Structure 1
Amino acid sequence: MSTNYSLSLLPIEIALLTGKWDKEISDPTNSAVNIAQLVVDGSFRAALTSSLARAVFRTRSNDLERPFSEILNLSISSTADLVQEELLHLALAVACLHAFVQANWTGPDLNIQPLQVLLFDFDATPSITEESIAAKAISELAFGGEPAYHLAQVPAFLRLAQLLLGLPYNHVQTAPWWRLRAAIVHQQVLDELVAIPDAFLSSIDPLKSTFASRPDIVGRLYLEIGLFEHHFSQDKSAAEYFVKAARATGLEYELTGALGKRTKFQETQLSQLVLLAQSRLNIDDDELNKKAETAQNAKEAPKINDGPAARNTNVPETLPLNDDTLLEQTEFTSSLPAAEGSRLNHIDPSSQPPLHPLDQCILLSLCLNVRNTSPLHGLTTEQMAPYVSRVILYPRNWTVHTMALLLRSRLESSRTRTVERSTLQLQALIDQMPTADSTLSDRLLYFHSIPLPSKWEMEKELAIRFLSLGVVKSALEIFETLEMWEEVVKCYGALERPEKGIAIVRDLLEGRKAEAEAVLSRGKATSVRRKQVQDTAREAKLWCLLGDLEPAHAVEHYERAWKVSGETSGRAMRSLGGYYFARANYPQAISCLKRAVAINPLLARSWFILGCACMRVEDWEGGRDAFSRCVAIDDEDGESWNNLASMYLRMGSDKKEVKALISESNQNDEDEEKKEGDSASTLAYTNEVGKAIPFTNKMLAFRALKQGLRFSYDNWRMWYNYMIVAIDVGELSEAARALGRVIEETAEKAGAAAVDEDVLERLVDAVARAPADPQQAVESGEAEYAVRNPNEGHGLLRNVESLFERTILPRVSSTRIFRAYARLLTWQGRWEDALKAYLDGYRCSTAGTMEKGETDVIRWQEAVNEVEEIVDMLTNFGPRVEGYKWRLQGRSIVRTFIGRTRDFEDEPEWERLMRLQEELRKEE
């Protein structure tokens, strides 16, 4: 019986996932199915107050000292059908989760409160109120040492959803997916992200095959996993899932160009970026779609002011730009994209077909990825804008359109002509949330498929926007309403009233100021016992904030926060560790930071400071572990990659340690290439020290630096470190590239000192070791087909030649540089060029720059040697250059040098100069 029934669960689970009830599902005798339908329809009040729900939410105790898991029973009865009970638990969990989302994300206002669901004995315990339940839920939602936002509405519903989803499910297959959704919502309630076990995502893998025949559901699954990775800043993994989602739904898209105009007075058509996109999913035949198709068939370019966005009353208002120069949207004047061979060149850029809302969600997510994987420059905005415009073009869903408008608002916030609409649009999005301009089911339909921020996060974003515009008092009012005291303190700092911020924090801690309007309403009736029940995580955070504001008593306040939180406040240990580090008390800093990262291991900054503290006490293994965690969290942190390399080069050669390093390096390689900033530690070790470093460690350092330079391309210190290590491990081609980058970045200020001449000469030596004849440089076969080693001989030649001719010689010059270049030319048999290089080197040398009146004998003796050397070069190479008057050149050099240095006639070396001059005359 159970097996047959479980087969029929899948359509119900799909309805819960997608938010659309399948009319073919009909079982009027099954109360659990009826409740599931109520949940899909958004009738949470009816579902959560039903008789079956009351049986689930019955309480065992009125003691709020006990956790919710002990207060509630959450089971129907021992004789109930287990399949029906699991379905009921899932439906109620979804109802609780979506009720919390409705109250804090989508609106409209919720019509049910937790105490209408939880059946306490109010006669026995009249002190149980909505406020006390909310305070308890907020306390239990604190996770990993991070407090939950204390003004979140109806937090008990999120806690109930967690408890229900935490029950065992043997027949319901989609429970892991709902756990993923609840986890993403929970993370957004916390002050900082907190790590989730690795097995969390693996439990969802079976669903990919379960829904293999449903591309829309598989697309949702990949998209939501990608958004989960996005929340944890795993941008590369998120990008892969977004692309998988697009492939699953069959979405075709291409960023290309088409001729068009962007301004009202533009006469010349220019190529404008446009995103061409087309859905394969079936689009519902609703009124909006009919309007969009009508516009497409008529080949009318949809206008934001006079198009689907304006005509559809079920989506947020799209504010007009009203600029005297810019058009509302790009006006494409060509019916074809500029790029030839485009897969979507049949689409008219000015009249594209409507997209399925799920595909719109994917495009918005891809747009997020453009932001996360591109440098912070203007091109990023230009890339993102077409994605957003394509979604705004045909509004399909309230929540999706809200997210698109929010993204456009963010993009426009940095441009003077659009900043006004940007701010007004953000305000409009906040204002429209409580309204009932669309149904709740419509708002929840794609909520989990986009990264829509909560109400308080949007209001915080508005306040930050006000701050950027210099409207500090308006920002302060919002922050005070949201009770985000850190931001309030920053505002008072900007207003040059820091003492006001300190007074507010002290008033909060001492009970003279309540933290919520709900608490204020209780007035003086708040008892000492009630205050003790309040969220300790919030109190600990306030003590930390006070420690930031009062450095003289910082340690006392941070330790008080640690004690108040029951030794669970990661913020307290992070602050205390940073305090000790800034005062060079590194052992204490390490102790505190190790506690902090044990509580919340996702904060890269804590790991970085811990690594730096370990470096100061020469704990190389500890530093390696810390910086490894930094790059695992943020693989674009070039500074951490550099310091990780430094740790490898300082570690000993213990065999067990080397094995561990090899394993770690392989893992990093699997993760592939991994921010910018000067390194906290640069590598500078002599050959003697280098010989004591295990080669394995050198290779690990080389790989770490190579990955880090992808994200710190302008950091010359890292390039210098990379050059030194590359030379040491035999990667001479990379060493040449690194030396070039160092010179490009530093030659303007450092001159010839920008060139590490020892490294340059080693590169030339590596080329010249091989036979000059390519035929002799290979053991067998023809030279042109031979596989050449890029780190020696002819394989390295091109890089070294380019280094001299394109990088070094146009910027700097010195005797050693010219001599090294001359040796390279000599090896190639380019005698005339080699002589020219030697002569250029002589002109830069001591002899070439010596003037009359020189009195330094040692310097003069050195110059005599240089004169002899250049004459030898002329004698050896001059005859090989047809028509070259090398004797005349040599006599001229010797005669000029003798004429400038006659003050040294009494020195023994003077006779050598005379003989050299005589020999040149005889040869002539």
Structure 2
Amino acid sequence: MALDTHALEKSLLSGRWADDVRGPAWLTELAKNVVEGAFRDVLTSASARELFALRQSNADLSEQSLDAYFEFASSSAQTAEELECLRLVCAVALLHAFLQANWTGPNLDLKPTEILAIPGDLQDTVTDESLNAKSIVELAHGGEPAYHLAEVPFFLRLAKLLLELPFERCTSAAWWKTRAWAVHEHVLDEPAAPPEDLIPQLQSSSKNIAADADLNGRVLLEEGLFYHLLEQDRQASELFVKAAQATQLEYELTGALGKRTKFQQNDVTQLVLLAESRKRETDSAPVQDDTSATESKNLPETLQLNDDTLLERTQFVSSNPAAPGSRLTHLDPSNQPPLDPLDQCILLAMCLNIKNMSPSHGLTSEQMAPYVDRVIAHARNWSVHTMALLLRSRLEANRTRTIDRSTLQLQALVDQMPTADSSVTERLAYIHDLALPSKWELQRELAQRYFALGVVRSALEIFERLELWEDVAKSWQSLERPEKGIAVIRDLLEGRKAEADAVIARSKAASAGRRQTLDTARAAKLWALLGDLEPQHALAHYTKAWEVSGGTSGRAMRSLGGYHFARGDHAAAIVCLRKAVAINPLLSRSWFILGCAYVRTEEWAGAKEAFTRCVSIDDEDAESWNNLASVFLRMGEAGQKVEAADDAADEVRLPIASISRGRALTVAHHAQGELRTTDSAADEPSGRVPFSNKLLAFRALKQGLKFAYDNWRMWNNYMVVALDVGELAEACRALARVVEERAAKDGAAAVDEDVLERLVDAATRGEPEGEGAGAGPSRAGLLRQVTDLLERVILPRVSSVRIFRARARLLMAQGRWEDALGAHMEAYRAGAAGTLEAGETDAARWREGVKEVEEIVDVLRNFGPRAEGYKWRLQARSVLRTFMGRTRENFEDEPEWTRLTKLQEELRQEE
């Protein structure tokens, strides 16, 4: 029978077997067993064992990599198409078996040697322990070791080997390869760069399934989850929205009247998510709501809140809260229809970025709760419901009234994993469409929750069981017993204590070289960890970690780079961090410290590259945007021009190999600088810094301020650069933000008076400011903006002589003569003359006051007649008389006194 490859692949992808799949009975039976979760039947079948037959070799297999073990051929497959499908079916079975063992449960009763055809002379050499240990070593990637206690890692490694083979007929192989890489990334200690062509291959292959709405939605969702895994959350959130559009999920976050507490008398507006799935053929399946979920045997336990104040669920008034024109006007917020599990996965994916604080980059934590509640209300799948409960637990972790349920729910999710309360098929149906953590990640999260609550001993017990030695050391430090943490690491390194994988490996006869290979990645991390714990010996320990790893440990080089940077040896830091980012370019903190080191050595091109990488990995890294702007200006000073086309700062994008933000370095010190203002780049010769560089600096700061709105130093820098490139409206806005942030603490020092006066000059004279002045607002528009700046922002908070004079000039430009004269008088009262007390003996201060008196009299003479009804002569005589009366006793004999008497006489004559 002709093989229907497309139908077979669709069944594997969707997790639902289609009875009309055509093909050889042996192959379709294997594929059906994969879909139904019968992995043992698949992997121990005669066809699979032929595929996994070990090569006959005289070489020592222990010294060879796993890809040299197999030819991946089978006599069962009569055609190349059948062989490809067999390889794909077995790869999916291996991947899902690994996920069952390490993610969803129940426990997997299948060992590596049971699926292999092992010649008799290799029975003692090829064992479960050796295969798993070798797999852990080979799964290390990008300088990051794989988690050594993962169960049956051989299955993941073998699945990846199969998927790396060329597939010409099975177009979904690229999708499965991406799924395998996503699982692999979870196994690593830190995210590492996947192949650069991984996502492009996925996008290319997904064109073949565009006609299927659900599969199209799945591929977009999983691509977004991959970006989230690499901590590129903005790209991820965009893909999640596209996935919802593909599946035709209608949803709307809105407000509806309701009650949230038991004692609430009046209904107030509460956030609610209205959502509805499109009609599907499977909609006739039974649905359970959360009221029965806790009674069901095939769903995770949903703990009740049981609070004396908060209601279990918001009670909405039965009304229609949807906006006019919405397609959801028919939905009742308190009785919405159940959603398809795939649509539930999409809604949960939108809630993954728990730390997001900007609505423009996804949902904030306050907005996420209605999404999670909408999914929990109708439990339709074991894994989806588990993910929803986990997200609710995370959202409730920092609220006093919900923290108890949050922790207990997390404990319940950990306890349910080994159970068989639901089928393997149900648990794996949507596993690739969820960001569900592995068993050890979930247990670690529980331990970290205990640690945050102060239950350190319980956390320590879990960390030790998981052999997460870094967390073990932190726990002992929290218990004020740091020596215990150091002792654990030293015992491991010196052989007095052994990790589980090392114990198993050493229990078998093996060469010294093999034992060294098995222990290298873990030993290197332990040496680096010991360097963190013993700072007095840090250099020796980090160096030892690098040597032990054979030059492959990114952790060791990151630590060495941080060590040298903290001690001012920036040249050495650059060398180390260059090696670190070459091993793993995904950790933005490494690039950040590298950029700072380049700045200290004034290597501007290197600094530009480093900070560009930072903002490409995490485009919300405001500090890196600020530093990148500074580097653009410095490059100009050094005579190095940057082409704008290459570095449009608000459009920087790098390949997927460089799009994940990693964790911080062990040692990292940086004080964010502030661009000069009074002696700034704006005041330097125009030819010194190319305008293109200034424009790039302006764009970089503008992008960074989206994520650091309260950082007045960045606003100050932005103000200076904006003024220099002629963006006067932005300079005005920036000065307003600086004053709003600083005025309460710093008073008049919060106002950059030089910038304010230049803005007033531009607004009153209409003269261009900066090289790009033509792009600014009209003179009338700028006049209104500067007036608003002074009257609404500055003067209600602070004042000074120069501020009053600036306002006076602005009022004169508007023809408001009386108000302008009043502002000049305010400036006079705030100056030396206005604040001079009787009995003053400082001659210099008095002479300054004399000049101010002469100036205010001149102002009154020149502009007083323009203010209708303004008694300027009386005001001028009063100023002069008051000043002379206060200072006559001590300064009547000074030469300047005659100027005052002469001025007084002139005023009398003018009457």
TM-score range, shorter chain: over 0.9
The counterpart of 1:160, out of the listed 139, 158, 161, is 158
Letter in 1 for 2:167: Y
Conserved in 1, the CA contact under 8 Å of 2:52 and 2:116?
yes
For 2:569 and 2:207, the matched residues in 1 are separated by 55
Identity %: 60
* Closer, same or farther: CA 96–314 of 1 in aligned 2, 3 Å: same
Match of residue 594 from structure 2: 610
For 2:206 and 2:494, the matched residues in 1 are separated by 53
Match of residue 780 from structure 2: 794
Q: Indicate whether 1:476 and 2:476 are aligned.
A: no
Match of residue 894 from structure 1: 880
Report the 3-state secondary structure (helix = DSSP H, G, I; strand = E; otherwise coil) of the residue aligned with 1:273: strand
The counterpart of 2:50, out of the listed 40, 51, 55, is 55
Letter in 2 for 1:663: D
Q: Indicate whether 1:140 and 2:138 are aligned.
A: yes
Q: Indicate whether 1:769 and 2:752 are aligned.
A: no
Deviates more, 1:352-361 or 1:127-136: 127-136
Letter in 2 for 1:34: E
Report the 3-state secondary structure (helix = DSSP H, G, I; strand = E; otherwise coil) of the residue aligned with 2:73: coil
Conserved in 1, the CA contact under 8 Å of 2:294 and 2:300?
no
For 1:606 and 1:21, the matched residues in 2 are separated by 47
The counterpart of 2:673, out of the listed 669, 677, 681, is 681
Conserved in 1, the CA contact under 8 Å of 2:354 and 2:395?
no
Superposition deviation, residue 907 in structure 1: 2.2
Match of residue 203 from structure 2: 205
Conserved in 2, the CA contact under 8 Å of 1:739 and 1:755?
yes
Q: How big is each residue's C-alpha offset from its partner over 1:429-472, in whole Å with a ceiling of 9 and x where there is no partner?
A: 11111111111111111000010000000000000010111100
Report the 3-state secondary structure (helix = DSSP H, G, I; strand = E; otherwise coil) of the residue aligned with 2:571: helix
For 2:450 and 2:198, the matched residues in 1 are separated by 39
Superposition deviation, residue 653 in structure 1: 6.7
Report the 3-state secondary structure (helix = DSSP H, G, I; strand = E; otherwise coil) of the residue aligned with 1:651: helix
Q: How big is each residue's C-alpha offset from its partner over 1:359-400, in whole Å with a ceiling of 9 and x where there is no partner?
A: 0001101122575353899x9333111111110111111100
Conserved in 2, the CA contact under 8 Å of 1:102 and 1:108?
yes
Superposition deviation, residue 205 in structure 1: 2.2
Q: Indicate whether 1:380 and 2:360 are aligned.
A: no
Match of residue 32 from structure 1: 27
Deviates more, 1:681-690 or 1:599-608: 681-690
Unaligned runs of 5+ in 1: 293-301, 772-786
The counterpart of 1:288, out of the listed 283, 286, 289, is 286
The counterpart of 2:807, out of the listed 804, 821, 827, is 821
Superposition deviation, residue 320 in structure 1: 1.5
Match of residue 297 from structure 2: 313
Conserved in 1, the CA contact under 8 Å of 2:616 and 2:652?
no
For 2:356 and 2:560, the matched residues in 1 are separated by 31
Within a 5 Å distance, the mapping from 1:859-874 to structure 2 comes to 859-874=845-860
Q: Indicate whether 1:918 and 2:905 are aligned.
A: yes
For 2:759 and 2:278, the matched residues in 1 are separated by 57
Q: Indicate whether 1:17 and 2:13 are aligned.
A: yes
Within a 5 Å distance, the mapping from 1:208-227 to structure 2 comes to 208-227=206-225
Within a 5 Å distance, the mapping from 1:491-890 to structure 2 comes to 491-516=475-500, 519=503, 528=512, 531-652=515-636, 657-660=640-643, 662-665=645-648, 668=651, 680-684=672-676, 685-686=679-680, 687-688=683-684, 691-770=687-766, 790-791=776-777, 793-890=779-876
Q: Indicate whether 1:488 and 2:472 are aligned.
A: yes
Letter in 2 for 1:795: G
For 2:671 and 2:649, the matched residues in 1 are separated by 24
Superposition deviation, residue 709 in structure 1: 0.9
Q: How big is each residue's C-alpha offset from its partner over 1:180-230, in whole Å with a ceiling of 9 and x where there is no partner?
A: 101110000001111123322111223443122210110111110111111
* Closer, same or farther: CA 917–362 of 1 in aligned 2, 3 Å: same
Q: TM-score normalized by structure 1?
A: 0.92
Conserved in 1, the CA contact under 8 Å of 2:642 and 2:692?
no
For 2:782 and 2:225, the matched residues in 1 are separated by 45
For 2:378 and 2:47, the matched residues in 1 are separated by 42
Q: Indicate whether 1:404 and 2:388 are aligned.
A: yes
Q: How big is each residue's C-alpha offset from its partner over 1:659-714, in whole Å with a ceiling of 9 and x where there is no partner?
A: 5454122673679xx99999623222542366511111111111111111111111
* Closer, same or farther: CA 529–235 of 1 in aligned 2, 3 Å: closer
Deviates more, 1:415-424 or 1:704-713: 415-424
Letter in 2 for 1:710: K
Q: TM-score normalized by structure 2?
A: 0.93
Match of residue 779 from structure 1: none
* Closer, same or farther: CA 243–344 of 1 in aligned 2, 3 Å: same
Letter in 1 for 2:568: A
Letter in 2 for 1:344: L
Letter in 2 for 1:842: Y
Q: Indicate whether 1:95 and 2:90 are aligned.
A: no
Conserved in 1, the CA contact under 8 Å of 2:98 and 2:156?
yes
Conserved in 1, the CA contact under 8 Å of 2:133 and 2:501?
no
Report the 3-state secondary structure (helix = DSSP H, G, I; strand = E; otherwise coil) of the residue aligned with 1:277: strand
Conserved in 2, the CA contact under 8 Å of 1:679 and 1:717?
no
* Closer, same or farther: CA 494–689 of 1 in aligned 2, 3 Å: farther
Conserved in 1, the CA contact under 8 Å of 2:249 and 2:276?
yes
Deviates more, 1:831-840 or 1:324-333: 324-333
Report the 3-state secondary structure (helix = DSSP H, G, I; strand = E; otherwise coil) of the residue aligned with 1:399: helix
Superposition deviation, residue 416 in structure 1: 2.0
Report the 3-state secondary structure (helix = DSSP H, G, I; strand = E; otherwise coil) of the residue aligned with 1:126: coil
For 2:642 and 2:555, the matched residues in 1 are separated by 35
For 1:654 and 1:848, the matched residues in 2 are separated by 48
For 1:829 and 1:138, the matched residues in 2 are separated by 80
Deviates more, 1:748-757 or 1:566-575: 748-757
Q: How big is each residue's C-alpha offset from its partner over 1:108-158, in whole Å with a ceiling of 9 and x where there is no partner?
A: 111211111122335445143222211100000000000000000000000
Conserved in 2, the CA contact under 8 Å of 1:679 and 1:718?
no
For 2:739 and 2:860, the matched residues in 1 are separated by 31
Conserved in 2, the CA contact under 8 Å of 1:262 and 1:326?
yes
For 1:650 and 1:842, the matched residues in 2 are separated by 41
Report the 3-state secondary structure (helix = DSSP H, G, I; strand = E; otherwise coil) of the residue aligned with 2:437: coil
Superposition deviation, residue 658 in structure 1: 2.8
Letter in 2 for 1:87: C
For 1:721 and 1:260, the matched residues in 2 are separated by 46
Superposition deviation, residue 311 in structure 1: 4.8
Report the 3-state secondary structure (helix = DSSP H, G, I; strand = E; otherwise coil) of the residue aligned with 1:681: coil
Letter in 2 for 1:803: L
Match of residue 189 from structure 2: 191
Match of residue 177 from structure 1: 175
Superposition deviation, residue 343 in structure 1: 3.2
Superposition deviation, residue 576 in structure 1: 0.6
Match of residue 415 from structure 1: 399
* Closer, same or farther: CA 917–654 of 1 in aligned 2, 3 Å: closer
For 1:629 and 1:352, the matched residues in 2 are separated by 45
* Closer, same or farther: CA 371–507 of 1 in aligned 2, 3 Å: closer
For 1:95 and 1:281, the matched residues in 2 are separated by 31
Superposition deviation, residue 802 in structure 1: 1.1
* Closer, same or farther: CA 373–749 of 1 in aligned 2, 3 Å: closer
For 1:546 and 1:573, the matched residues in 2 are separated by 14
For 1:240 and 1:130, the matched residues in 2 are separated by 43
The counterpart of 1:242, out of the listed 240, 243, 246, is 240
Within a 5 Å distance, the mapping from 1:66-77 to structure 2 comes to 66-76=64-74
Q: How big is each residue's C-alpha offset from its partner over 1:513-565, in whole Å with a ceiling of 9 and x where there is no partner?
A: 11017826976988856632424111110010111111222111111111111
For 1:392 and 1:283, the matched residues in 2 are separated by 22
For 1:464 and 1:370, the matched residues in 2 are separated by 16
Equivalenced residue count is 889
Match of residue 295 from structure 1: none
Within a 5 Å distance, the mapping from 1:377-456 to structure 2 comes to 380-456=364-440
Superposition deviation, residue 503 in structure 1: 0.9
For 1:629 and 1:316, the matched residues in 2 are separated by 42
Letter in 2 for 1:105: W
